[in-house]
A and B are shown apart, each in its own frame.
Chain A
Amino acid sequence: KNQVEQSPQSLIILEGKNCTLQCNYTVSPFSNLRWYKQDTGRGPVSLTIMTFSENTKSNGRYTATLDADTKQSSLHITASQLSDSASYICVVSLITGTASKLTFGTGTRLQVTL
């Protein structure tokens, strides 16, 4: 079982609509949680980063929330645009002794249509 689970696996929405993507993680203790956007055929690009003490972070139409008690994060996209079509990946940074490790979720593939 992956330590970072994302849902839904895929999603289709109409342009202009809002949507929320979910990320549940079991890694602990963690240092920070990032959301990445990955366009088809491209590398991931960071959207937001939150430490365990933060519960919300916005980047334009993207708003990430974090509940460290329930180990859940969400990414809310407002007024979706065709350019939002991409995979969205949740990444948790785990502290292991003196080292750190990134655990990647499998992503949610979002398609925005006319």
Chain B
Amino acid sequence: NAGVTQTPKFQVLKTGQSMTLQCAQDMNHNSMYWYRQDPGMGLRLIYYSASEGTTDKGEVPNGYNVSRLNKREFSLRLESAAPSQTSVYFCASRKTWDLNTEAFFGQGTRLTVV
């Protein structure tokens, strides 16, 4: 049981380049999330998908887009990377939208934009 799998684990981009971070979960969870983690700050929500077929903005959505490809997969796209997007990105999933249920996190993608 892999849980939540993110690819890639590390990435270096040049300013202006685009890339897609992939996330897949095998727990049949309905809700999926993308967070970023920066030094000295708590995790911040970028986008979320409460259920298959829906996506919504979180706290810091600017510069990102998402796709809920199916129930298992939720991707995050940077169309034109900027140095301010240097961060560690975490995908998470939860069985339901209810925040009393536990969230399971992937191992993260460390992205550096130069």
Contacts and interface: CB of A to CB of B under 8 A. Distances in A.
Given A4-B42, A102-B45, A106-B41, A43 B99 contact: no
A49 B41 CA distance: 21
Interface size class of A (residues with CB under 8 A): 20 to 34
Nearest to B108: A43
A22 B45 CA distance: 23
Contacts of B45: 101-102
A43 B41 contact: no
A100 B43 CA distance: 16
Given A32-B100, A51-B100, A105-B42, 7 more contacts: A31-B99, A41-B107, A43-B104, A43-B105, A44-B43, A46-B102, A104-B44
10 contacts: A32-B100, A42-B107, A43-B90, A43-B105, A43-B106, A43-B108, A46-B102, A93-B99, A93-B100, A102-B99
